[in-house]
Every structure is written in C-alpha cells, then in structure tokens.
Amino acid sequence: MKNYLLILLLVSGSIFSQNIDKLKKQAIRDAKVISEASLKKDVNTLLEYTHPKISKKYGKEQLKKDIEQVFQTMTAQKIKIKSSEIDELTEIKKEKKEHRCLVKNTIKMDFNGRLVTLKSSLFGFYDKKKEKWYFIESNKLIDDPETQKIFKNFETEIEIPQDEQIADN
C-alpha cells in the first residue's frame, strides 16, 4: 500500500511540474506577443491580451481609442520605443482559483533624443479555457486608483516591484 501511495505522489508531482512548465512557456510566449505589439503599435493585439475586466469596464472601442491616443501622443512628443525585451518570469502562483505570474521586462525608449531604459513588469492572469495569459502593467495594480477600482480587494503573494527608470548616457 505504501508503494502505491508513493507512486501516486510521484506521478501527481510530475504532472503538476509539467503543468507549471507549460504555463511558464505560455506566459513568456504571450508576454513576448505584447512586447512585439508595443513596438509595432499593434493596437488590436494589445487589446486581445488586455484583461477582460478592463475591456468590460471601458469597452473595446474606447480602449482602442485610448491606446491609439497614447501612440499619437508619443509620436507628437517624439517618444519612440526602441526595444522591448522580456527578461524573466519570476514566479507562477495559484491564487483565488487562477494562476497568476509576474514577468519582468526592459523597455528602451528615445525621448526626443534622450535615451531611457525602463525596468518594469507585467502581472499575468491565466485563462485556462482559452489557454492564454492576460496582462496588466503590474505597477498599476499598486499605484493606479482606476485599476484598483477594477480589481477591488486585489491581493497576491507575488512581489510586485516598482518600475525603475534609468537615464542612458
């Protein structure tokens, strides 16, 4: 009997590990899609990976207009995203009946001739029915009152770092 229990524990542990590995690969894949979409100013792809609560709150058309406005403002102010790289997925946790993760990224921008590097992160929420991650700029979960209203009583054990801006010389 002990042998069967041991085998069951080993098999279930192996399946759990394979599941987490799959989730990690999917999270990195989806975060890279968002990163590329930001570089290309691909509004539709950015909308596709926006958390459904945000889409529901503002409506897809309004969000599309808002994102387009951000890109127009950046162009008018001569701000350009030069590169956007996914650095690492720090961890995946199951909280509130869903998998969540934190993906760190580095964005290099040109502010009208002044180069700036932004170290930031994306907070991911996994939709297992669609096998897809939705992301939010993680700092908005801790610093933005509008986002906090949408995600009322948001709690996580995942450590969310503050964004870091580095002026390049």
pTM score above 0.95:
no
Per-residue pLDDT at 61:
95
Closest CA to 93 of 157, 18, 151: 157
pLDDT at 83 over 60: yes
Q: Which amino acid, 93?
A: K
pLDDT at 119 over 80: yes
Per-residue pLDDT at 169:
59
146-155 pLDDT, tens digit each: 999 999 989 9
pLDDT at 35 over 50: yes
Per-residue pLDDT at 5:
47
Section 69-84 average pLDDT: 93
Per-residue pLDDT at 141:
92
| Residues 69, 67, 80, 144, CA torsion sign | positive
pLDDT at 8 over 50: no
Token pair, residue 146, equals 């509008």
Q: Predicted confidence band at 78 (pLDDT cuts at 50, 70, 90)?
A: very high
pLDDT above 90 coverage of the chain, percent: 80
Cα distance between residue 138 and residue 121, in whole Å: 6
Section 17-33 average pLDDT: 88
pLDDT at 105 over 50: yes
Gyration radius of the chain's alpha carbons: 19
CB distance 101 to 156 below 8 Å: no
Cα distance between residue 29 and residue 22, in whole Å: 11
Q: Predicted confidence band at 166 (pLDDT cuts at 50, 70, 90)?
A: confident
pLDDT at 99 over 70: yes
Per-residue pLDDT at 14:
38
pLDDT at 16 over 80: no
Domains along the sequence of the chain with CATH: 2-167 (3.10.450.100)
